[in-house]
Structure 1
Amino acid sequence: MRSSAACAARLPTPPPSPSAPPTRTPARIWSASRRPAEGCVSRSSPPSRFRPALSLVYKKPGTAAYSPAFRTVTVCLSADSLLSMGKRQSSSARSCLSLRLSPLLPAFIFLTAFSMAPAQEAPAPPPAPAQEQKQQPPQPEPAAPLAAATLWDVLRLLGAPPASTRGAMQGLTQQVWYEGEPLKGKPTRVFAWLGLPDAAKTSGPWPAVLLVHGGGGKAFQEWARHWAERGYAALAMDTSGQGPDGQRHADAGPNQDDGTKFTNFTDATARDTWTYHAVSAVLRGHALLASLPEVDAGRVGITGISWGGYLTCLTAGLDPRLKVAVPVYGCGFLGDNSYWRDRTLAAMTEDGRGRWLRLLDPSQTLANAVCPVLFVNGTHDFAYPPDSYRKTFRLIPEERRTLSVQVDLPHGHIWTFREVDAFIDSVLRPGAGSPPLTRLGEMSVEGRRVSAAALSGPSPASAALHITTDTGRWHARAWRTLPATVTGSTLTATLPEERPLTFFLTATDSRGLVTSTPFQESPGTAENTACIPRGRLEQDFYDWDQRHAAILRLARTEKPELVFIGDSITHLWGGQPTEPHGGRGQESWDGLRAGRSALNLGFGWDRTQNVLWRIGHGELDGLSPKTIVILIGTNNLAGTGNARKNTPAEIAEGIEAVMLQAKFKCPSAKIILMGVLPRGASASDPARAEITAINALLPDLAKAAGAVFLDIGSQFLDAAGAIPADLMPDSLHPSSKGYQIWADALRPLMGG
């Protein structure tokens, strides 16, 4: 949320009322956002030339009003947001505004602020000479793109509690049904389990927690019971349209499957998406929970697991009333790296993917969270990798974030992580005997010595250093744990000499609860560029952009049965688009094609990142080929001023990304993944060992993706491991004889 809804949606100024004071100017609105929009007075002192007036009016939330008499705009703000603004002052008493609000006020109040005209007005310019002018019809302003900050009508969703029904108590839990958001104009309902503590053992009002399940989950009765037994009211809502039996009910909202989550939509249909409905169900659940007489509305937190963690990150940035948030696994920046980046996100259109990331990725809202946040994840998480996780938690200021990243932490609907319970206790039940977690600061590295300070919480009882020298896919990296020492509140360890190196420290307190520092990389260790889409990087014998445009034109007119994806090795083989320098294996190309339509997506000098860019920019959109052949990766072994050299593990990850994106763009196609061909004249060429390492990783990746792996490299080598000149004259690109070897190997797999 880059600006408040009040600043994002300006109300037009009506004509002045005859009774309106002539010196009043249109309203200045104090934004509840952390970053004031242009034209809004910030939380710091307003300009001294304005004299703000304050009016607090109790009204129904979710409305706005314009007062012609005072030329003021009235907008609804959260009481908590106003309290957080504190006291505004400036050097001039005339511009001083103090807010002294009781936490006992209703959840919403109205703030009206208007600015007086400057004390001395500049003289008005003389009127322009009268002259005949053509009246131009007013031009409508183009509609601004929908933003994450305005997608949800937060004021309405957090206002009056939704209509609901409650079933009979089943021990400490009971079934609840409450009103959801309309789906395509039809009403929906949300099912939830409500947990309440035993009133005979503990008196209310109780703190409360919202419980958000992940993919494949449901409203878990056991989860609500877990928190009720700990003295909390808890609401575990279902975000996939399921009832208590785990089956979708008649009034369900969108399903939670990946196809529904990542469907293409427009700004007009954004409120029919799963994410919109799921977040709305959480916000409505908060309004319902806070309305219960048994609940202390000023002590409500949220925790979610996996996709529920994703929803927790989104909600924490939208709901200023939350006092604590704990996303487990889930994070933002899913377009940068995640399980879905090369799968369902890649299958979307370029426009649809951009809109999804702009509106529904937690990176768009989390920075607006005002509560403390605990982030819990593992080093090997298959869905939410550490790099995207780090970008996510850095959106929260250091003083309000705590990390608990652990090696080999399992992924599942696990609500028994004791760090989660202890963190929420320390915020919602301070002084109840549960000390906070140890919060660690950033690591400091001097030579091989790495250290970090415990900024708050109990002193660590022990510490450890965790390292990996692997690159490439995060969930495939092997981590080692080394000893670290604790001196007072400082953790210290010695880094090994191995490079590249990724590392972080953990602290364990006397209760066995683990917290961590952010991870760091040694100099030279960087993001895997093989997976970051890039347009043209190198100048070659052809026009890269023109070839891309030609392919897009062909894709609209041709219906290829065969598609070949690659670099110059594929580019120079044959087929369309035609290449003046190509056609080196036209005879074998035509023989393999056997009259079938084929499209050549080979680009000279391309690396995996270039192919990812091309796929993301439409080269496979709308195609339904029977077979896709992929040969890419050899150019990633060459570093230039435009792109660094990649490691074998990084290249394998980049090849996997290409394969997955092709699979999800063309789900009915058979994917044939080629091993990287040998290069370099002799067996002693350094590239040979690297290619062997790449190809050793590819069979398992192909199998996991349902693709066929084909390695024909040995057919290009003689007994001594050299590449014969009649097969590859330059020890890199095949001759017509070399292309025939490739065609003969492919024919049994693709017919013809």
Structure 2
Amino acid sequence: MARIRRRAFTALAALAPAYLRPGPAAAEPPPPTGPDAGPSTGPDAAGFESPGLAGDHLPAFHRRLRDELAFPLAWGTSPIRDFPTWRRTARATVEEHLVHPADDTPFDAEVVDERPGGGCRRRIVLFNVTRYSRVRATMLLPKGRGPFPAVLLLHDHGARFDIGKEKLVRPWYDEARLPSALAWADRHFGGRFVGDELARRGWAVLAVDALGWGDRFGLAYEGQQALASNLFNLGSSPAGLMAREDQRAAALLASLPEVDGDRIAALGFSMGAYRAWQVAALSDHVRAAVSACWMTGLKEMMVPGNNTLRGQSAYFMLHPGLPRHLDIPDVASIAAPKPMYFTDGEDDPLFTAAGVETAYRKMRAVWRSQGAGDRLHTEVRPGLGHTFTPAMQDDAFAWLDRWAGGRSRR
């Protein structure tokens, strides 16, 4: 039976009136508000934790939690020395933490609209992205005879929910969304629609809305926490559902007769970049990926002022419990030795320079260990922020042409 230590209160009679009698209370120092603040009274005063939270809604003990994260399953730390065995084990661990179950529902894909435009063929495709949801996707096919190399386009978050796939593919089918889409392309992509540009360069592209965006609208910034809690209560999660749907979209793309299933890449910006490297790690259909502006070490991301600490959008990019096993770049490294392209701006406010460098260093070590160092491209662009400029796009597209097939040779 646990014993409770008792303290001797030698001045109890004197203390009691102090907090019972009326009048202004004695001045006390305000509780610390910094992210590293500990208990306000200290262990030698009251002897208990108060307050329980530091700044940015971090628990007062967050440094201890952070220091406990040793990422024991990371390649090079794990006792598993055979890389294929490690990759299978690490992927299985990620799959377990997705919470959302795997899905083999027939796609039952249906082309409901096709027309020429913008130098390519434009399609609307309906398919079962899971056993729960049938969605509308946009697809662009280049001129010429296939099968074509293909890119799965993965849209960002951006706290902009009225458009999803329309952030990457010009919405010829919906004039009401065109102004928002044009504004987004101007803001982040130098006025380009990334998908339309890829189609002109010989790539088939597919873009699908994540839950809450575009056709699957209904999400607002403040509602993300409620959606997350409801999905958790229903045995799912926002990040797990998104990961599963991205796996399914890649599998659909590989199944289409116009697509060369051996030349499929994923590409995304911001949250879409996270999705791109994640689906490359989890899907055998994806042979290469371009990730623009989303990579960091986890510990370096959990710092004062980081957007992640606000919650909300973070729910789409976290798998509860997984950091007890793997760091963020460790998950991306499951994709090794596939060709992978990571680019970020030096002044990106969402990721610290230390976080980006930590992640790049970890990944470079993995690819080099497999004799594939030339297949991993990591860069930080001087003077740029959270953006995917035309120059960045051109370099990424040239890299895709080299490593994932470029124009069809048939």
TM-score by length of 2: 0.58
Report the CA distance between 1:401 and its aligned residue.
Answer: 1.1
The 3 A distance-change label for structure 1 pair 384 and 374 is same
CA distance, structure 1, for counterparts of residue 313 and residue 268 of structure 2: 26
Report the CA distance between 1:161 and its aligned residue.
Answer: 5.4
1:341-380 matched pairs, under 5 angstroms: 341-344=308-311, 355=321, 357=323, 362-363=328-329, 365-370=331-336, 371-380=338-347
Q: Which amino acid is the alignment partner of residue 248 of structure 1? A: F
**DSSP 3-state at the match of 2:249:** helix
CA distance, structure 2, for counterparts of residue 362 and residue 376 of structure 1: 16
> Counterpart in 2 of 1:206?
148
Identity %: 22
Q: Which amino acid is the alignment partner of residue 178 of structure 1? A: F
1:304/1:311 contact within 8 Å kept: yes
Q: Which amino acid is the alignment partner of residue 154 of structure 2? A: V
1:165-564 matched pairs, under 5 angstroms: 165-171=110-116, 172-181=121-130, 187-198=132-143, 202-215=144-157, 216=160, 218-220=164-166, 221-222=169-170, 223-243=194-214, 248=217, 255=219, 257=221, 260=224, 269=233, 272-337=236-301, 339-344=306-311, 355=321, 357=323, 362-363=328-329, 365-370=331-336, 371-393=338-360, 394-395=362-363, 396-398=366-368, 399=373, 400-412=375-387, 417-429=393-405
CA distance, structure 2, for counterparts of residue 261 and residue 165 of structure 1: 34
The 3 A distance-change label for structure 1 pair 397 and 265 is farther
CA distance, structure 2, for counterparts of residue 341 and residue 357 of structure 1: 15
**DSSP 3-state at the match of 1:196:** strand
Q: Which amino acid is the alignment partner of residue 256 of structure 2? A: L
Q: Which amino acid is the alignment partner of residue 212 of structure 2? A: G
The 3 A distance-change label for structure 1 pair 296 and 224 is same
Report the CA distance between 1:310 and its aligned residue.
Answer: 1.2
The 3 A distance-change label for structure 1 pair 321 and 262 is farther
Number of aligned residues: 283
The 3 A distance-change label for structure 1 pair 276 and 387 is same
The 3 A distance-change label for structure 1 pair 241 and 35 is closer
CA distance, structure 2, for counterparts of residue 231 and residue 347 of structure 1: 35
1:568-583 matched pairs, under 5 angstroms: none
CA distance, structure 2, for counterparts of residue 353 and residue 316 of structure 1: 17
CA distance, structure 1, for counterparts of residue 234 and residue 330 of structure 2: 15
**DSSP 3-state at the match of 2:358:** helix
Report the CA distance between 1:385 and its aligned residue.
Answer: 2.6
CA distance, structure 1, for counterparts of residue 107 and residue 326 of structure 2: 23
1:108-123 matched pairs, under 5 angstroms: none
- Compare relative contact order (CA 8 Å, sep 6+) and give the higher one, 1 or 2: 2
CA distance, structure 2, for counterparts of residue 353 and residue 35 of structure 1: 18
**DSSP 3-state at the match of 2:150:** strand
Post-superposition Cα deviations, 1:657-714, rounded to whole Å, max 9, x if no partner, equal xxxxxxxxxxxxxxxxxxxxxxxxxxxxxxxxxxxxxxxxxxxxxxxxxxxxxxxxxx
Report the CA distance between 1:432 and its aligned residue.
Answer: 8.3
Report the CA distance between 1:358 and its aligned residue.
Answer: 5.2
2:290/2:396 contact within 8 Å kept: yes
Q: Which amino acid is the alignment partner of residue 205 of structure 1? A: P
The 3 A distance-change label for structure 1 pair 239 and 227 is same
CA distance, structure 1, for counterparts of residue 97 and residue 237 of structure 2: 11
1:180/1:277 contact within 8 Å kept: no
Q: Which has the larger radius of gyration?
A: 1
> Counterpart in 2 of 1:164?
109
Report the CA distance between 1:150 and its aligned residue.
Answer: 2.1
Post-superposition Cα deviations, 1:245-283, rounded to whole Å, max 9, x if no partner, equal xx617xxxxx48476279776996585322112222211
The 3 A distance-change label for structure 1 pair 33 and 311 is farther
1:327/1:375 contact within 8 Å kept: yes
Structure 1 unaligned regions, length at least 5? 4-29, 39-80, 82-145, 250-254, 434-752
Please state which structure has a larger fraction of its residues in helix.
Answer: 2
The 3 A distance-change label for structure 1 pair 174 and 361 is farther
CA distance, structure 1, for counterparts of residue 201 and residue 93 of structure 2: 39
TM-score by length of 1: 0.33
CA distance, structure 2, for counterparts of residue 404 and residue 313 of structure 1: 15
**DSSP 3-state at the match of 2:386:** coil
The 3 A distance-change label for structure 1 pair 265 and 331 is farther
The 3 A distance-change label for structure 1 pair 209 and 383 is same
> Counterpart in 1 of 2:182?
none
CA distance, structure 2, for counterparts of residue 354 and residue 153 of structure 1: 9
